[in-house]
Amino acid sequence: MTRMTATVAPGEAGGRLDRLVSARWPTWSRTRWQAAIADGQVWVNGRPVRRVGHLVAPGDIIDAALPQEAPPAVPLQHEPLEVVIPLRYRDDVLVVVCKPAGVVVHPGAGHAHGTLVQALWPDVAAAGGEPGRAGVVHRLDRDTAGLMMLARTQVARAALSAALARRDVHRRYWALVEGHVDPPQGRLSAPIGRDPRHRTRMAVTAGGRPAATRYETLARWAHHSWVALELESGRTHQVRVHMAALGHPVVGDAVYGTGPALGQAHQALFAYALSFEHPTRRHRHLTLVEPWPERWHDALEQLGPPEWGAIPPRDPLTPLGPAGG
């Protein structure tokens, strides 16, 4: 991350924040700056401002923290990955894959090659979007595995993005977490934004964007729990940040927890279910459910039989139901 600071000159007063920062620091496009503002990465006089149309005043101090490199420009090209990307659904407008842990979704700072978008290129090329992010509707962290959908056309991408905004796309996760969540099921509503002390991390913060996660404990051991979670919003690192805020970080999380544990090199967080209306075929509802990862067997062998509850069966036909009641 690089920190940038500027003072608003008298001739810039009354201008929009997004126009000012994109003019001052043209390495990033105005679209990218608008996303950064909405994500709380731009501050005016020491406070994050999330409205791109915010009007600046003379003498305002503008701070920003963004990666030094800009995303690579399109067009991209196909780059096969060393790992297999399991295909779970595909038609003329949509593709759903099970992203492996360790795979970055799209090119960006520090990850110019070897991403999911490049592996699926040109399958998603026609969908458009921000530079380097063709077809991306939602993302999974690099070290989070599981179901992820990508659009193949611009119409599908717009429809799926709108469905996400309306909360009509249901995304459920399984996680192995430290300790016992109390109460064992519920809903956590806590805003998420950039950690003011560590700008590369997210945190529950008063100036963050609204975020809500429903959770339900399915099994417990002496010092760990298996939790099902459902997102009501889609903030960066949401599940990991919310569980860490509860005092129960995801097992293996090196950023918000204690790092590798129970034989897990990546965080034990898995996007196991997607449920949504097909973007172009009315009244067709898709529900995809993925069995939990084989690598979790190592953790389960170390934990032994649960003291309470039961481990979900590795059955892809497990029905999708609401988390947390």
Residues with catalytic roles: 141
Count CB-CB contacts under 10 A for residue 207.
14
Nearest CA to 111 out of 76, 161, 146 is that of 76
Separation of alpha carbons 38 and 190, rounded Å: 17
CB-side neighbour CA atoms (13 Å) of 234: 19
Across 39-50, b (16+ Cβ under 10 Å) vs e yields: bbbbbbeeebbb
**3-class SS of residue 34:** helix
Q: 207 and 9 in contact (C-beta within 8 Å)?
A: no
Separation of alpha carbons 149 and 102, rounded Å: 17
* Position 247, amino acid: G
